[in-house]
Amino acid sequence: MNKELRDLLDQINEKKAQVKSLALENKIEEAETAKTELQALQAKFDLLKDVEDETPVDADDVKPVATDAIHEFAEAARHRFMNINKEGAGIDGGYTVPEDIQTRINKWREAEFSLQSLVSTESVTAPTGARTYMKKASHSGFQNVAEAGKIGAVTGPQFERITYTIKKYAGYLPVTNELLADSDANITNVLIDWLGKEDVATRNALILAAVAEKAQTAFTGLDDIKAAINVTLGQIYAGDVAVITNDDGLNYLDTLKDDNERYLLSPDINPANPFNMTLAVGARRIPVVVVPNAILATASNKIPFIVGDLKEYCKIYDRMQLSIMTSNTAQVGSGGSALNAFEEDLTLFRAIMRLDCEVIDAGAIVNGYISNP
């Protein structure tokens, strides 16, 4: 999105807030006027966005995404990815998504909230494999030895073998055949939007499942969070510890004050990160990462507080393959929710991705929670 569109989007959001404010103050006529202005801004935004979509660009607004790639992808979708050359054929006979399109899908991990930025990722080519990792540990040092005395062994580094097995994750999207007759940009944008969101959601679910492998620890308040940071994790993990919570957790932290009535939660002192927050834990300031409730839920009145270093805790092994197959005759589901592509004039797009997520160092986090009052 270019600067002009971003500025328009800011104006639209400001105008929306103004309309709501005026309506709540019972200034109905002024709210109606503001609403008309909002509709004009939205129409201008939609028009300019449509024009921009004809020559799509990637997220940095510098390098254009090849129009040929958009056209080829849209044409492949219209023909249900049939009669493609061998280079386009992927595992299970599906159509391997081209690199230009894959790049745009990957941008969703930056646009949507993706937990993958908090963990380690490794690209792999084999369906299974193993890696050797050295555990973090404290060192006792050499022992005092008398002249001609016997030298004893010291504790050496400990290693652990972690295996991964790439698994297949898949889903389908019903698309009207009218859409397939639409412009190249519209077809491509719909599929990229779907593939991107499902990609992010799949990875988020795998990471949260890995976190759930660690037994939960009840925190009664800030002192327990401090103990988790200072004692349980200690100096071994001190350099990269963060507090990861959700919107409910942010609301809780935002009420904490010190003895001088100063709030313990504050913006990052680095002006380059104005939206980042830190929590005062004694003499240290610990980064706070807030994940939307919709992703990191408060379940059974337990507000999640994941304390530690997720990059040390788990890793995603990504085979970097995304393939698509389609059918305009398939039937999916059962009962009242069943879809018959032939009868309903639909084309079903089935996407398959391949990856795995494994715990690397179970001691790198404390999977805590605070009971929601």
* 57: exposed, middle or buried (Cβ count in 10 Å: 0-12, 13-18, 19+): middle
Asked whether residue 373 is assigned to any structural domain, the reply reads yes
177 pLDDT band, cuts 50/70/90, is confident
Assess whether 9 and 109 both reside in one domain. no
Report d(CA 24, CA 31) in Å as an integer.
Answer: 9
The pair of three-digit structure tokens given for residue 130, joined into one six-digit string: 């193993």
Percent of the chain with pLDDT over 70: 84
For residues 292 and 247, the answer to whether their CB atoms sit within 8 Å is: yes
Query: What range defines the domain where residue 93 resides?
Result: 61-138+154-373
Q: Is the pLDDT of residue 209 over 80?
A: yes
Region 146-150 average pLDDT: 76
pLDDT tens figures, 58-96: 444 444 445 677 888 888 888 777 654 434 444 445 677
Q: Is the pLDDT of residue 324 over 90?
A: no
* Position with higher pLDDT, 246 vs 42: 246
Domain at 225, CATH number: 3.90.1690
Asked whether residue 242 is assigned to any structural domain, the reply reads yes
Region 266-284 average pLDDT: 75
Assess whether 10 and 68 both reside in one domain. no
Assess whether 309 and 234 both reside in one domain. yes
Region 148-157 average pLDDT: 69
Region 345-372 average pLDDT: 93
Mean pLDDT lowest for which of 184-198, 199-213, 353-367? Answer: 184-198
* Position with higher pLDDT, 58 vs 295: 295
pLDDT at 55: 46
Written as one string, the DSSP assignment of 113-125 is --GGGGSEEEE--
pLDDT at 67: 63
Report d(CA 144, CA 265) in Å as an integer.
Answer: 47
pLDDT at 153: 64
Assess whether 36 and 69 both reside in one domain. no
Question: Quick check: pTM over 0.85?
Answer: no
Kindly calculate the radius of gyration of the chain based on its CA atoms and give it in whole angstroms: 26
Q: Tell me the backbone φ, ψ of residue 309, rounded to 5 degrees.
A: -125, 100
For residues 310 and 358, the answer to whether their CB atoms sit within 8 Å is: no
pLDDT at 62: 44
pLDDT at 66: 54
pLDDT tens figures, 239-249: 889 999 999 99
Assess whether 267 and 216 both reside in one domain. yes
Asked whether residue 363 is assigned to any structural domain, the reply reads yes
pLDDT at 145: 77
Q: How many domains are contained in the chain?
A: 2
Assess whether 44 and 163 both reside in one domain. no
Asked whether residue 145 is assigned to any structural domain, the reply reads no
3-state secondary structure of 95: strand
Assess whether 273 and 329 both reside in one domain. yes
pLDDT at 156: 64
- Cα 354 → chain centroid: 16
* 328: exposed, middle or buried (Cβ count in 10 Å: 0-12, 13-18, 19+): middle
* Position with higher pLDDT, 148 vs 34: 34
Quote the mean pLDDT of the chain: 82
pLDDT at 222: 93
Asked whether residue 146 is assigned to any structural domain, the reply reads no
Assess whether 67 and 48 both reside in one domain. no
DSSP state of 299: B
Report d(CA 239, CA 142) in Å as an integer.
Answer: 25
Region 274-284 average pLDDT: 81
Percent of the chain with pLDDT over 90: 35
270 pLDDT band, cuts 50/70/90, is low
Assess whether 122 and 99 both reside in one domain. yes
For residues 282 and 264, the answer to whether their CB atoms sit within 8 Å is: no
Asked whether residue 264 is assigned to any structural domain, the reply reads yes
274 pLDDT band, cuts 50/70/90, is low
* Position with higher pLDDT, 206 vs 155: 206
Q: Is the pLDDT of residue 1 over 90?
A: no
292 pLDDT band, cuts 50/70/90, is very high
Assess whether 134 and 251 both reside in one domain. yes
* 190: exposed, middle or buried (Cβ count in 10 Å: 0-12, 13-18, 19+): middle
pLDDT at 121: 93
Assess whether 295 and 262 both reside in one domain. yes
Q: Is the pLDDT of residue 154 over 80?
A: no
- Number of separate helices (H) and strands (E) present in the chain: 10, 16
For residues 113 and 292, the answer to whether their CB atoms sit within 8 Å is: yes
Asked whether residue 97 is assigned to any structural domain, the reply reads yes
Assess whether 114 and 7 both reside in one domain. no
Asked whether residue 121 is assigned to any structural domain, the reply reads yes
